[in-house]
């Protein structure tokens, strides 16, 4: 796909619901005696994967115009001696959170995924769940498939989440709902807290203090609830960076998720020189509101380990901002990027270099020297990684001669409408 250069952006956007929150709502239906009425569910294939998995496990899914009703009235009877295969396709969140949920459920399960997901690390959830007493294993390489079966009486643990991963924390807390005692997850750098917020809303008592999140089990979740998912802030990030790159551009994203664990990239854009305004309009279960950004000249910045968990998904598009900023930028403490849908450090640097961007790969990050102009048009391969594809599209909009994007369809993982939305507000 050829993506031509743009002259600027000017728009007010409302985006489909946040992917992280959507996964949790859908998967938690397996633990709730009752029902969930959900609106603004995003249609990316990752979330649809979670939806089809809960359906396979017996959740009744009813669509009513723009709403989705999930009810957990009669879960399918489990056959103890037969493994139920759960294919999570490309979705790490589905695989890791499901492992936590199923660790205490009757039945036997095989969690697997596509080629990319089968390369990603799973020992990080298998180890803590096994220490809670779950009968769980993965391959000797620490990858999928995960097998879960047998004994289901879990006990609480104290777990130190050194990776700073919300998926690990969530898997342990979700298993902790069924474990007897106080399950505690300690974090040096806080990861996103959507699971905790949702469990609280569903009536569980969760305590957070001094970087420790605790839940006392067993807890039974019951009742009928309605949720409207705020817009996806990680999808918004692509458009917000696009506007930041063009002096005179202005972009507003309304009713978007403003969870503090997700908006660190806005702080980074501010220190790079963009004018960013954040207005929280509601703070019931998740903070939500409006972000407005105005484009202007940007300067380079450094991002260190302490900031990574709160902007990990935005690093590819922040790298695009760095490529057009004045001076040097460096990202450190981000080796987790090598374990995403692709090795985002290696792929980002190799594709940027094709366009003449001056950048270096480091074990735990990358460095970039910005330039006002990128003249070379290249064919950029996102390696089937949705966030790299969208970041490269924004790079193309600001490149003097545009760029060619290979396999643009991979954006469907999180944001199938990405190109339609981009075209609708671009100034060509």
Q: Which residues bind ligand S3P (CB under 6 A)?
A: 20, 23, 93, 165-167, 170, 192, 312-313, 336
User: Which residues share a beta bridge with 178?
Assistant: none
Nearest CA to 227 out of 264, 282, 173, 174 is that of 282
93/403 with CB nearer ligand S3P: 93
Q: Which residues contact 20 (CB under 8 A, 6 or more apart)?
A: 93, 166, 192, 194, 234, 262
Strand ranges across the sheet with 158-160: 158-160, 181-186, 212-217, 206-209
Minimum CB distance to ligand S3P, residue 162 (Å): 12
- Asked, as a colleague might, if the bond just before 218 is cis with ω within 30 of 0, I would say yes
Q: Which residues contact 337 (CB under 8 A, 6 or more apart)?
A: 312, 315, 343, 344, 345, 365
Whole-Å CA distances, 391 to 12, 50, 90, 247? 20, 25, 19, 19
Minimum CB distance to ligand S3P, residue 117 (Å): 12
DSSP state string for 318-341: HHHHHHTSBSEEEE-S-GGGGGSS
Q: Is 135 exposed, middle or buried (0-12, 13-18, 19+ CB in 10 A)?
A: middle
Nearest CA to 310 out of 274, 264, 341 is that of 264
Pick the catalytic residue from 313, 372, 381, 409: 313
Minimum CB distance to ligand S3P, residue 81 (Å): 33
Minimum CB distance to ligand S3P, residue 27 (Å): 10
Strand ranges across the sheet with 328-331: 302-303, 328-331, 365-369, 358-362
Nearest CA to 130 out of 161, 155, 94, 108 is that of 155
Q: Name the strand (E) or helix (H) holding 97.
A: helix 92-102
Minimum CB distance to ligand S3P, residue 74 (Å): 28
Minimum CB distance to ligand S3P, residue 175 (Å): 15
90/165 with CB nearer ligand S3P: 165
Beta carbons of 244 and 298 less than 8 angstroms apart = yes
Q: Is 51 exposed, middle or buried (0-12, 13-18, 19+ CB in 10 A)?
A: buried
Q: Is 232 a catalytic residue?
A: no
339/353 with CB nearer ligand S3P: 339
Minimum CB distance to ligand S3P, residue 234 (Å): 7
Minimum CB distance to ligand S3P, residue 93 (Å): 4
Nearest CA to 397 out of 320, 326, 294, 301 is that of 320
Q: What is the DSSP letter of 104?
A: T
Phi-psi group of 304: left, alpha or beta (phi > 0 → left; psi -120 to 50 → alpha; rest → beta): beta
Q: Which residues contact 201 (CB under 8 A, 6 or more apart)?
A: 225, 285
The pair phi, psi for residue 154, each rounded to 5°, is -90, 155
Active site amino acids? 313
């Amino acid at each position: 796909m050829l993506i031509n250069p743009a002259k600027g952006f000017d728009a007010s956007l409302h985006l489909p619901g946040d992917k992280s929150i959507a996964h949790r709502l859908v998967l938690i239906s397996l633990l709730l005696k009752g029902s969930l009425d959900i609106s603004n569910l995003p249609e990316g294939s990752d979330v649809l994967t979670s939806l089809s998995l809960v359906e396979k496990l017996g959740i009744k899914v009813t669509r009513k115009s723009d709403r989705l009703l999930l009810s957990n009235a009669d879960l399918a009877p489990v056959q103890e001696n037969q493994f139920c295969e759960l294919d999570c396709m490309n979705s790490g969140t589905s695989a890791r959170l499901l492992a936590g949920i199923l660790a205490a459920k009757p039945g036997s399960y095989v969690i697997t995924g596509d080629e990319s997901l089968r390369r990603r690390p799973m020992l990080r959830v298998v180890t803590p769940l096994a220490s809670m007493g779950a009968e769980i294993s993965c391959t000797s390489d620490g990858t999928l498939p995960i097998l879960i079966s047998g004994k289901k009486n879990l006990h609480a643990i104290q777990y130190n989440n050194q990776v700073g991963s919300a998926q690990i924390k969530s898997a342990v807390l979700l298993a902790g709902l069924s474990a007897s005692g106080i399950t505690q997850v300690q974090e040096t750098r806080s990861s996103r807290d959507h699971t905790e917020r949702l469990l609280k809303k569903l009536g569980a008592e969760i305590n957070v203090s001094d970087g420790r999140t605790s839940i006392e089990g067993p807890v039974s979740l019951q009742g009928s609830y309605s949720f409207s998912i705020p817009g996806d802030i990680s999808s918004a990030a692509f458009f917000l960076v696009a506007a930041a790159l063009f002096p005179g551009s202005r972009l507003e994203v309304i009713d978007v998720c403003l969870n503090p664990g997700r908006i660190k990239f806005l702080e980074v854009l501010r220190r790079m020189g963009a004018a960013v305004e954040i207005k929280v309009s509601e703070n019931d279960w998740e903070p939500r509101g409006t972000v407005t950004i105005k484009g202007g000249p940007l300067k380079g910045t450094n991002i260190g380990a302490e900031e990574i968990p709160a902007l990990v998904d935005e690093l590819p598009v922040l790298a695009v901002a760095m490529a057009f900023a004045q001076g040097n930028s460096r990202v450190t403490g981000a080796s987790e990027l090598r374990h995403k849908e692709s090795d985002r450090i290696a792929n980002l640097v190799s594709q940027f270099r094709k366009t003449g961007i001056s950048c270096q790969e480091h074990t735990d990050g990358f460095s970039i020297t910005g330039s006002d102009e990128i003249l070379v048009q290249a064919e950029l391969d996102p390696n089937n990684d949705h966030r790299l594809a969208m970041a490269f599209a924004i790079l193309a909009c600001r490149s003097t001669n545009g760029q060619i994007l290979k396999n643009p369809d991979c954006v469907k993982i999180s944001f199938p409408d990405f190109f339609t939305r981009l075209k609708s507000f671009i100034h060509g």
